[in-house]
Amino acid sequence: MDQVFAPWRIEWVEREDRNEDVDGCVFCALPDREEARESRVVAASEHAFVLLNNYPYNPGHVMVIPRQHTGDYRDLDDAVLLDHARLKQRTFDALETALSPDGFNAGLNLGRSAGGSIGDHLHTHVVPRWAATPTSCR
């Protein structure tokens, strides 16, 4: 097995958890904070918001999160589903403008066996992808 050293991720590995003062669900608490932007909330709509990922796979890795606290996608009503989908569209637009990726991965990890770390509050990962790794990241 090859070992990969990714020095650009060390600040994320070594950082203190900035969310440790949040009681209960972090995804319910963050968008209502006064300093929401410092908590990495970068966009918001009526029923959803966009949060920079604490442990990004790539630059620009964000999560589009419904405000409704549930781990079951089937609980979302039409208004929340549409708002969440439209905010994902705006997220693709913003990331394309800012970072010019060649593509995206976007999806939900539902349940721990699917890789979900926070299982009781849905969140859609949006990860920009590039065809070639920039020279500075090798």
The residues annotated as belonging to the active site are 123
User: What does the angle CA 131 – CA 59 – CA 34 come to, to the nearest 5 degrees?
Assistant: 150
Smallest separation (angstroms) from Zn ion to the CB of 85: 19
Q: How far apart are CA 29 and CA 111, in angstroms?
A: 21
Q: Does 27 bind Zn ion (CB under 5 A)?
A: yes
# binding residues, Zn ion (CB under 5 A): 5
Q: Does 40 bind Zn ion (CB under 5 A)?
A: no
On whether the CB atoms of residues 94 and 62 are closer than 8 A, the answer is no
Q: How far apart are CA 26 and CA 68, in angstroms?
A: 12
Q: Does 79 bind Zn ion (CB under 5 A)?
A: no
Q: Does 61 bind Zn ion (CB under 5 A)?
A: no
Smallest separation (angstroms) from Zn ion to the CB of 81: 17
Smallest separation (angstroms) from Zn ion to the CB of 23: 12
CA atoms within a 13 Å half-sphere pointing along the CA-CB vector of 25: 17
Provide the CA 88 distance to its chain's centre, in angstroms.
Answer: 11
Q: Does 33 bind Zn ion (CB under 5 A)?
A: no
Q: Which residues bind Zn ion (CB under 5 A)?
A: 25, 27-28, 69, 121
